[in-house]
Amino acid sequence: MKKQLIIYGILILIYVSYNVFFRVEDDRMNAIINIVFVSFLFLYIAYIAFVMLRRLKK
């Protein structure tokens, strides 16, 4: 479980660093990239929850 949380922390750091340093000038394209990235973060949260529930079941 620790591995998944470290990966999630790294993903959040990548997201924050993108928004601070590597932002796209076009606002529409930037919004699309942010939406896709945040969707991926929520999917990863769902994966972590699924793994935790599977471990609790055992």
Helices (DSSP H) in the chain: which residue ranges?
Answer: 2-21, 27-57
Distance from C-alpha of 4 to C-alpha of 51, rounded to nearest angstrom? 9
Number of domains in the chain: 1
**What's the pLDDT score for residue 27?**
87
Read off the pLDDT of residues 1-52 as tens digits, 9 standing for 90 and up. Answer: 788 889 899 999 999 999 889 888 888 999 999 999 999 999 999 999 999 9
Nearest to 4 by CA among 58, 44, 53, 40: 44
Structural domain harbouring 6: 2-57
**What's the pLDDT score for residue 3?**
87
